[in-house]
Amino acid sequence: MRRFKIKNKIVGLLVLTPLLFSTVSCKKDFLELAPEISIPSEFVFSSADRIESQVAGIYSSIKNGQFYGGRYLIYNDIRSEEFVNQRQNNVTGYSTYQFSNDETDSYVADFWIRGYLTINRINIFLEGIEEVGTDILPADKKSQLVGEVKFVRALTYYSLVQLFAKPYAADNGASKGIPLRLLAERNSENNDLPASPVKDIYSQIIKDLNEAEAAVPATYGDATTQSTRAHKNTVIAFKSRVYLAMKDYAKVISESNKIVSATAPFKASTGVPHQLAPAIKDVFTNYTINERILSFPFEANNAPGTQNQLGYYYNEGNIEYSLSPDGIFGSASWPTTDDRKKEMTAKSSDGKLNLLTKFSGASPFLDWIPAIRYSEVLLNLAEAEAEAGSQVRALALLKAVRNRSDAAYTFPASPSKATLVEAILLERRIEFLGEGLRVPDLQRRNMPINSEGAGRLVQPNDERYTFPTPLVEIITNPGVNN
């Protein structure tokens, strides 16, 4: 009888058991978990703020230290005659410096990967914003944001095609270029895509820039935004660089004239009032000064990341590269009276090396990236005028840049066209030392690269003249180079 009672209790327990189970299992959503500190894609076009936040994200994507936030500039300088490697470290470009970087080089591959990642982020954004109604985002704002990201896409494609494909100048863009990706990629399709010809990439760049120019604002409300996001003059300035690479001097002149006055003092009369800063030093201490048309900003919470920082490479940060006595630093054409030499180069602390001190920030190396400067537009225009326009104006533009830093320097009164072009190219070596323009300046004229690292002239027909397509691309896209 007693035992029976116990059994009854046990039956009661049996009834309780499902309750135990239910503590976790019967919650329908036990297995439904969503990421907590990342944002699932269904929310990203839900408000104007989030859409604008995506645009800031796209800018942050191109300014990644592995891309335009450091390495784009670095690769284009260390391949030249201007710098001597001090660390023999492949991570900081030793193989690139020696022209021995091959298709397996993971840092060069990473540059490619970062570039295309930015492009796809833009393509996804462009696809998504299409559907957004005016209830969420006003039409003019929508058009502005589309314009901005198209500008970033053009800048990204230009960086990639410049490093990984033969120059446009070699054969008017007939050479094999790079894959032209314009679709939003989110799934496993479309792995295969052959490289488009160089000229198709340039056409797309120009198309994006023309559309951007029409859509972006002339000015922004504050200096920081104005220096770090694309406005009309930014797009125009960059077009002058692209047309110069295409040797379309007429276009360089017509675009540049939109933002350069006919005579000195040269300045932009519409939009953001760009002009040369009175002293070159100011350009590298005041990042929002009007001479800096586009900069990529860094703050302590979005620093360039290790082994990407300009000050780490060229300055006391780690002295990865010092100035070569065989380069422009040792040239008589760059007198010591020049502010750019006096104020932007110095001896290393042990007195043995010459350093570029333009990027002076120490850790965490927050020197903003000078992506486009007004002095570049002036020299772009000068070169185009020298080649296909007014030699007088060309010389005036050249003087404006030189005499800003070396007032006493005098050029011959009426130089020959060839001498003038040579002087402009030389001026660019001085003015943009460490700003990533040296190798593009050689390539766009199809000239050999006088490599300090390889100890030889690398001719345009050399397979190492441009970067090889990374192995990771070839493996998943075997027809890329066909």
Partner 1 sequence: MKQRLLSMLVLCVLLIGSAYAQNRQVSGTVTSATDGTPISGVSVRVVGTSTATQTSGDGSYTISVPDNNGSLSFTYIGYQSFQTAIGTRAVINVQLASDDETLDEVVVTGYMVQSKKDFTGASAKVSGETVANRPLQSFTQGLTGQASGVNIIQPSGVLNNPPVVRVRGLSSLSLSSFPLVVVDGIPISTGDVSENSAANNPLGDINPEDIESVDILKDAASTAIYGSRGAAGVLLITTKRGKAGAAKVSYDGWFGSSKAVRLAELMNAEQYIAHKNNAIKNAREINPKLSTASYPVDGGFFPTLDANGNPVDTRWYDFVYDTGISHNHNLSVSGGNEATKYFFSGNLSDQDGILVKNSFKRKGVRANIDHKVTDWFKLGANLNFTNSANNSPNSGSVAGAAFNTSGLGRIAMVQAPNVPGYLPNGDYNVTGSSIGKGANVLAPNYPNPLPIRDLDKNSSETNRFFANINSTFNLLDGLTLNNNFTWDLRNTNNQQFWNPINGDGYSFNGYAYNNSAKSNNWVVLNSLVYNKSFGDHNLVVLAGHEAQSTRVENWGGVRYDLTDWYFNQYQGNFLTNDAGGNGIGENRIQSFLTSLNYNFANKYYFTANFRRDGLSALAAGKKWGNFGGVSAGWTISQEEFFKSSSLANVVSNLRLNASWGRVGNSAISNSYGSFDIYDPTIYGNAGGMIFTQAGNRELGWETSDQTNFGIDVGFLDNRVSLEASYYNKDHNGLILAVPQTPSKGIPGNSILMNIGSMYNRGFEFALNVRAVQKENFKWTTTLNFSTNKNEVTALDNEGRPLIATTAGLETTSITEVGKSAAQIYAVPTNGVNPANGRRIFINRDGEEVQYLHNAPNTEGFYSYSYLDGTRAAGVAGDAVAAGNTLPTYFGGFNNNFQFGNFDATLNFTFSGGNYIYNGTRAGLRDQRIWNNSVDMLDSWTPENKNSDIPRAIYGDNISNGSAFAIQSNIEKGDFIRLQTASLGYRLPSSIFGKSGISSLRVYAAVNNAFLITKYTGVDPEISSNGDGNLNSGVERNSMPNGRTFTFGINLGF
Judged by CB under 8 A, the chain residues 432 through 471 that form the site for partner 1 are 452-456, 458, 462-463, 468, 470-471
Closest CA to 120 of 70, 186, 67, 71: 186
Footprint (CB under 8 A) of partner 1, residues 302-321? 302-303, 306, 312, 316-319
Nearer to partner 1, 120 or 391 (CB): 120
- Verify binding: residue 474, partner 1, rule CB under 8 A: yes
Site residues (CB under 8 A) for partner 1, limited to 219-278: 224-225, 228
299 contacts partner 1 (rule: CB under 8 A): yes
Q: d(Cα 471, Cα 182) in Å, to the nearest integer?
A: 22
Single residue of 131, 135, 350, 351 touching partner 1 by CB under 8 A: 350
Cβ-proximal residues to 466 (8 Å cutoff; 6+ apart), any chain: 163, 164, 165, 166, 167, 443
- Rule CB under 8 A: which of 376-435 touch partner 1? none
Minimum Å gap between C-beta 89 and partner 1 is: 6
The correct pick among 138, 273, 278, 325 for binding partner 1 (CB under 8 A) is 325
Q: Choose between 123 and 275: whose C-beta lies nearer to partner 1.
A: 123
Please pick, from the candidates 1, 2, 14, 482, the single residue that binds partner 1 as defined by CB under 8 A.
Answer: 14
CA 251 – CA 95 distance, rounded (Å)? 37
First to last CA, the chain: 90
Q: Determine, following the binding rule CB under 8 A, whether residue 30 of this chain makes contact with partner 1.
A: yes
Residue 466 CB neighbours (<10 A) = 21
Token representation of residue 370: 């000078």
Q: Which residue in the set 74, 124, 145, 442 belongs to the binding site for partner 1 (CB under 8 A)? A: 124
CB closer to partner 1 out of 12 and 412 = 12
3-state secondary structure of 373: strand
As measured in angstroms, the least distance from the Cβ of 272 to partner 1 is: 17
Contacts of 183 (CB under 8 A, 6+ apart): 123, 127, 190
Q: Which parts of 81-100 interact with partner 1 (CB under 8 A)?
A: 84-91, 94-95, 98, 100
Q: Is 37 in the site for partner 1 (CB under 8 A)?
A: yes
- 6 interacts with partner 1 by CB under 8 A: yes
Query: Is residue 31 a contact residue for partner 1 (CB under 8 A)?
Result: yes
Residue with tokens 């007032």: 407
Contact flag: residue 362 with partner 1 (CB under 8 A): yes
Triad 474, 308, 72: Cα angle to 5°: 55
CB 376 within 8 A of CB 266: no
What span, in angstroms and rounded, lies between the C-alpha atoms of 284 and 337?
Answer: 19
Footprint of partner 1 on 100-119 (CB under 8 A): 100, 102-106, 109, 112-113, 116-119
Evaluate the omega torsion of the peptide bond into residue 265 and state whether it is cis, within 30 degrees of 0. yes
Burial of 13 (0-12, 13-18, 19+ CB in 10 A): exposed
| 21 lies in the binding site for partner 1 (CB under 8 A) | yes
Q: How far is the CB of 72 from partner 1 (least distance, A)?
A: 17
Closest Cα to residue 361, out of 432, 300, 409? 300
Q: Of 24 and 262, which has the nearer Cβ to partner 1?
A: 24
Question: To the nearest whole angstrom, how small is the minimum distance from the Cβ of residue 438 to partner 1?
Answer: 17
Q: Is 190 near partner 1 (CB under 8 A)?
A: yes
Between the CA of residue 306 and those of 67, 105, 216, what are the distances in Å? 13, 18, 33
- By CB under 8 A, is residue 24 in contact with partner 1? yes
**What are 387-394's contacts with CB under 8 Å, separation 24+?**
387/249, 387/417, 387/421, 388/249, 388/250, 388/253, 389/249, 389/253, 391/415, 391/417, 391/420, 393/262, 393/263, 394/420, 394/424
Q: Which is nearer to partner 1, 161 or 378 (CB)?
A: 161
Of the candidate residues 33, 139, 262, 332, the single one contacting partner 1 (CB under 8 A)? 33
Q: Does 197 bind partner 1 (CB under 8 A)?
A: no
Q: Pattern of binders to partner 1 over 41-70, x per CB under 8 A?
A: x--x-----x--xxxxxxxxx-x-------
Smallest separation, CB 136 to partner 1 (Å): 16
Alpha helices by DSSP H, 41-138: 48-62, 71-78, 94-97, 106-130
Number of residues counted as binding partner 1 (CB under 8 A) = 116
Q: Please, what is the minimum distance in Å from the beta carbon of residue 129 to partner 1?
A: 13
Q: What DSSP designation does 197 have?
A: B
Asked whether position 326 contacts partner 1 by CB under 8 A, the answer is yes
Q: How many CB atoms lie within 10 A of CB 19?
A: 9
Print the binding letters for residues 150-189 with partner 1: x by CB under 8 A, - otherwise. Answer: ----------------------------xx-x---xxxx-
Helix ranges (DSSP H) in 229-373: 232-245, 249-257, 280-283, 310-314, 339-342
Residue 136 touching partner 1 (CB under 8 A):
no
**Considering the complex, what minimum distance in angstroms separates the CB of residue 167 from partner 1?**
19
CB nearer partner 1, residue 160 or residue 400: 160
What are the CA-CA distances from residue 15 to residues 11, 12, 23, 322, 353 (Å)? 6, 5, 14, 80, 84
**Closest C-alpha to 433, from 68, 76, 62, 158:** 76
Kindly indicate which of the ranges 169-177, 264-272, 357-365, 372-380 contains the residues binding partner 1, using the contact rule CB under 8 A: 357-365
